[in-house]
Amino acid sequence: MSKVLIIIGEASETVDTLYPVLRVQEDGFEPVVAGPEARLYNMVLHEIKEGWDITREYEGYTLKADIAFRDIDPSEYAGIFFSGGRAPEYIRDDPDLIRITRYFFEHNKPVASVCHGVEIPARAGCVEGRRMTCVRKCRFDLEVCGGIFVDERFVIDGNLISATAWKDHGLYMKQWMALVIDEQARMDSAGESAAAD
């Protein structure tokens, strides 16, 4: 089965994460959840409540990472998804996650990021000149790393699709999956050509 990476860590946002995990399966892909270690992670739920000026955080589900960042060969995957929540802030300095992130950008493979997920490609030095959106509190992270903030619910910039929050999944996921499907077809064709040689 073709594979897609879903990047998580402690305090990944539950809906940011579970929607893509389930969505990639609908198109016949295997979601491979990746974290700093292959272990169980605690997720959170984020919501703006009436009367609050900041995001309120609740305990969410748990999710097991199938693989540790250090064990990932990015060439085996048709796409990568950076989930939001507070996790990106804590995992973005991981050298293997930086290596993996750069691979997807350097090889023009499908990348999606939602909410705080932007902090990972920004830290990896992959957003310069790229048009993206994210949750407003991460706008600085994007812009200080050379990215161009677009105040829209989702933005498509070539192989890169970004969104502001989990409520936007239904607006962009179809376009991202189309990129992933095309990338898998390209990978399959390259594999067939190599086998024929």
Least confident of 47-51, 80-84, 183-187: 47-51
User: What confidence tens digit (pLDDT) does each residue in 117-175 have?
Assistant: 999 999 999 999 999 999 999 999 999 999 999 999 999 999 999 999 999 999 999 99
- Residue 127: which of 94, 158, 87, 154 has the closest Cα? 158
Cβ contact 134:113 at 8 Å = yes
| pLDDT-based confidence at residue 3 (cuts at 50, 70, 90) | very high
Cβ contact 59:45 at 8 Å = yes
pLDDT at 72: 98
| pLDDT-based confidence at residue 197 (cuts at 50, 70, 90) | low
Domain 3-196 = CATH 3.40.50.880: yes
- In angstroms, the Cα distances linking 35 to 29, 99, 172 are 19, 14, 24
User: What confidence tens digit (pLDDT) does each residue in 8-55 have?
Assistant: 999 999 999 999 999 999 999 999 999 999 999 999 988 877 887 777
Instruction: Return the beta strands (E) in 8-120 as ranges.
Output: 12-13, 30-35, 40-47, 56-64, 67-68, 80-82, 111-114
Cβ contact 83:56 at 8 Å = no
- Residue 20: which of 10, 9, 6 has the closest Cα? 6
